[in-house]
Each structure stands twice: as C-alpha cells, then as structure tokens.
Amino acid sequence: MNLKRNLSQQVEQALKAAGAQNSPAIIRQSGKPEYGHYQANGIMGAAKKLGKNPRELAQQTLKTLVDNIGDSATFEIAGPGFINVTFSKKFITDCLTEMSNDKRLGVIAQSRQKVVVDYSSPNLAKEMHIGHLRSTAIGDANVRIMEFLGHHVIRANHVGDWGAQFGSLLAYMDKLESEGKPLATELKDLEVFYQRASEMFKTEANFAKKAREFVVRLQSGDEKCLELWKRFISESIKHCQAIYDLLDISLSTTDVKPESAYNGELNDIIILLEAAGLIELSDGAKCVFLPEFVGKDDEPLPAIIQKSDGGFPYIATDLAAVQFRAQKLAAHRAIYFVDGRQSLHFAQLFAIARAAGFIAEDQEFRHVPFGSILNKDGKPYKTREGGAVKLATVAEEAINRAKSLISDKNAQLSDAEKEKIARVVGIGAIKYAELSKNRTTDYIFDWDTMLSFEGNTAPYLQYAYTRIVSIFRHASITLEPAGGHFDLDEPTELALALKLLQYPEAVENVTEDFQANILCNYLFELAGLFSAFYENCPVLKADESKRSSRLKLCGLSGRVLQHGLGLLGISTVEQM
C-alpha cells in the first residue's frame, strides 16, 4: 500500500466534502517522525480558490478525516493551514504485518502499459566506452522498475550499425582477408582492430579511397560487402553482450534492433512526409522546417531527412523507428534514455513524427536526458592519452579495486569468495554511482567515493545487508517472515517501521520522472535508520517478547534493501 497516495486521496475527499472540488492535497513527508512523517499542504490553495479562511477549511477537512480514518491516525492543524498527520501505532503495525507477508513488499502492480525503452544503443563502429555507462545503467534500472510495476516493457537496443564509419572497418577486413589473415582472430581484440583501421584511413590515401568505396558498396547492397559487414556486426554485438553480462544488465541479443533494420522503410518515410506536406527542398536535400525550431538570428532550423547525395542521416532512421514503435508495436509510451546533447534531435524527431501523424495523441514519446561523466578536474573523463575509457576496462578496474578492499576488510575469506564478492561490490559501485545522482547533471567519476563503505554508495548498502544477514545467521533462521507479530515501542523502531512502509512510494516515484536516485536515497536513509535502531535496540539479546518483533523488523529491512538494490540492477552477497 502506498501510504502517501492513500492519505492524499483521503484529504482530497475531505476537501471535496468541504466544497473544494479538484484541489490537490499536496502531501509532504514532514521529516519529523513524531508526526508520522506527513503533512497536508494543499489546504491553503484550496481555501484561496474558495475565498475561505484557510484555518477554517483545515478545521472542516480535519473533521471529515477524523470521521473517516480517525482510527488509523490523529490530525493536528499547524501553521496557517497545514494538517499534520500522525499514524497510530496500531495502524503502522497492521500495515507492516501486511507488507511483511507480501512477496511484493507492498508495491502494487499498476495498470499494464506497453512501454518501449530505448537504452544503451551504442554505435558498433567503436568499442563501448564509459560514456555508455549512463544510458545503460540508468535505462536498465528504470526498465526493471517498470517491469516490476507491471508494465509490458520492450527493451530496444537501437545500435548504430550503418553509415560512413563502417567504410574503413570493412576496407580493413578486406585487406586482412586478402593477406590471408584469419578474421576471427583479428576481430578478437576489437579495440586494436578499430585503431588500426582508423590509423590506416588517416595515413594511407589508397586505403581511405577504398573505405569510401566500401560505404557506397554497402549501401547499394553489394553481397561481398554485406557478408563482411555482418561478420563484423555480429562480433561487435558479442562484445557488447559480454559487457552487459559482466555489468549484470538485463539486455540480451534479442533486444537488439539495429539502425540497419529500418533501411527498407526509409524511402516510405520520405513519401509519407511528402504526402503530409512536410518536405521542402533545400540545396538538394529533403528537409522539414517546423516553426518551433529556429536557430541563430531567428533563421528557421531544418531537419535534414535525406541528404542531397541520397543518403539518410540519423534522424531518418529514428523516424522509421518511431513509426514502428507507435504503429506496429502500438506502444502506449516510448522512453529514450539518451545523452542530453541529443535533446534537439529528439525534440525535432518527435515533433516531425507527430506532424506526420506517426504518433497518436494519447501516445507518449519522451527523451530522458542525462549529463556527462567528468573527472575530478571537472573535464570529460578520458584516458591519459585523451581517448575514451573502455567500459570493459572500467568494469575490470572496479572489480580489482573492490577485491583489494574486500581482502583488507575480511582477510579470512577464500579466494573464490573474494572474487565473487568483488564482482558484486565493484559492479554495484559503478552502477550505483550513476544511479544515485540526479541524472540531469554532470557527475564526477571518482573511484574512492563510489567504493567507500561510508556514505550513499553501493558498498555501504551491500554491507548493511550483510550485517542483517549475519544477525540471522547467528540466530540460525532466515529473513523470510515466520509468524510472530510486530511490537513497536522505541522511537527508533517506529522511525524504521515508517520508513519501511514508504518503500512502495519510493519505487513508484522513480518512474514519475525516471529518477532512480529517489530509490537510492530511500535505501540510504533506510540503512541509516536501521543502524540507529540496531544501536539502540538489542535484538538477539532482547527479551523473548521483543526478540521476535525485532527480528521481524530486521528481516523486513534486509528484504527491502535486497529488493530495492535488485530493482536498481545491483546484487547483494551474504558476507563481505
């Protein structure tokens, strides 16, 4: 059950009874545990609309609340017209019991929507680098959460596998083959392969010429060329999949629908745009000018859909993908997790698709942008030589660093255990660092902060989980609920209980604006309240009457931590 939503409905109903129609309740967590955490703030606005005295309206609202839910909470008017809500101990205990007995931990499935989520989507002409971490980690957490909330999610890995960049790669493959070098071996190390090909493109005029010819041959469907290209793409996708597996990302190769898959639709897209009267010729290119897009000096800003040489740019393929998602898949929503630097592209894309009638009124297409990854000096995160840092290298380093931390912390662990824990902690740390920030701002990639066992980090939460597990190991029981009942007295118990009850709220709030940091902050606060409780209240040494309730509280805390991290795509271990 969502405490906040239920309260909000109650307050709105009470406001309605007092004559205020359609007035939002605006429920806030007051942050004061003695107030049961909630405050209704919408009364003043409603009073203003009605021309009523706010305290009077608050009084009336309060009376209805007492009549309707007076057995679960007490109410108090505060300030110029707020209502503070204190849930009763009995109510909290009852809700907690219900939550504890629920496999879904109180999170209710929402009405099922078909949602296409476009994320990760790297270009295959390069090896995945650190810049791909954002879309991949943030997109994946949101996908997991939407799926848990009951939606039918279609993962769309819109990889770039077409275009001029592939010319030099194909020319290089061709050259190796003519020299009798086994391609399979050469393609093993894609990074070296990319570097050699682009090096040759820069230094050898003949090679560059060949590369350009390969682009034309590829686009005109030359068989030899397509065959080479397919081999390259399939190696490249294998490489991406290995990274997804290492990072525990829920994408599989069946989620790949590459740009090239839309090649056959591109001419039709032009025909449809022309029929809608949207295409204008400008210097031989087919463009769409929409009044809302203007550049410097109020010059109209075109979107080029087909270049004068007949080639189709990025946006043409994306239009075909929009059409596919909106019409063939009939998605209610399509969410694109892509770098904020592509905001103009998506604004134009969706506007054109709407103008052309590809997207219906009630379908939502949305770009969810994020900022860049910076180093400690606030500059883009690069290798010492100024190149992009490979994602595989980042993952490896995370695991190695975690391994040395784990070895320091718990030297008795076997090597195999250390290895396993290091993977979970290292990968968790880099993903959590992405997820715990407001996604719209740039963030600083710093190993020491993200791998710290203190502060809002994955290792801190994973460690908190192992502490709970160890309590149960000592008591030789499992975390799953086993009879008994909650008996809450101490303020730290009540504060922890309320926080636990807010889990559904935290999960649901993430998807409002795809801010996974809401769930991260929630888990961090939960772990903090758990520590406070554990310091104040003996568990295993408590009297029999308290022991079972406190164990239940520990068990539920552990389950929520593990489940919440799981929704973020982060695993837990039993010890570290």
Cβ proximity to ligand ARG, 82 vs 370, nearer residue: 370
Distance in angstroms (rounded) separating the CA atoms of residues 574 and 32: 33
Q: Which CB atom, from 160 or from 302, has the smaller least distance to ligand ARG? A: 160
Q: What angle do CA 155, 158, 162 make, to 5 degrees?
A: 160
- 336/486 with CB nearer ligand ARG: 336
Count of beta carbons in the 10 Å neighbourhood of residue 304: 18
CB of 265 vs ligand ARG, minimal distance in Å? 14
Q: Calculate the CA 486 to chain-centre distance.
A: 34
Report the distance separating Cα 47 and Cα 19, nearest Å: 10
Chain positions contacting ligand ARG, by CB under 6 A: 118, 121-123, 158, 160, 318, 321, 336, 338
Contact criterion met (CB below 8 Å) for 235 and 190:
yes
- Least distance (Å) from ligand ARG to the CB of residue 135? 8
Q: How far is the CB of 337 from ligand ARG (least distance, A)?
A: 8
Minimal distance, residue 125 CB to ligand ARG, in Å: 10
Name the residue nearer to ligand ARG (CB basis): 59 or 123: 123
Query: By C-beta, is 326 or 496 nearer to ligand ARG?
Result: 326
Q: Which is nearer to ligand ARG, 140 or 318 (CB)?
A: 318
CB of 117 to ligand ARG, least distance (A): 11
Backbone angles phi, psi at 225, to 5 degrees: -65, -45
What's the DSSP call for residue 323? H
In angstroms, the CA 243 to CA 296 distance is 41
Sequence-separated (6 or more) residues with CB below 8 Å from residue 453: 405, 409, 459, 460, 463
**CA distances for 257 relative to 84, 118, 265, 515, angstroms:** 51, 10, 14, 26
443: left (phi over 0), alpha (psi -120 to 50) or beta: beta
Q: Which is nearer to ligand ARG, 64 or 348 (CB)?
A: 348
Shortest distance (Å) from residue 278 CB to ligand ARG: 20
Per DSSP bridges, beta strands 364-368 and 152-156 are unpaired
Residue 84 or 121 with smaller CB distance to ligand ARG:
121
Nearer to ligand ARG (CB atom), residue 336 or residue 533? 336
Closest CB 128 distance from ligand ARG, rounded Å: 10
Element (H, E) at 82: strand 82-87
Q: Name the maximum alpha-carbon separation found in the chain.
A: 89
Beta carbon nearer to ligand ARG, 82 or 119 = 119
Q: How far is the CB of 524 from ligand ARG (least distance, A)?
A: 31
Q: Specify burial of residue 532 (Cβ count, 10 A radius: 0-12, 13-18, 19+).
A: middle
Residues 6+ apart with CB under 8 A from 137: 247, 249, 430, 431, 434, 435, 569
Place of tokens 């209240």: 537
CA atoms within 13 A on the CB side of 138: 33
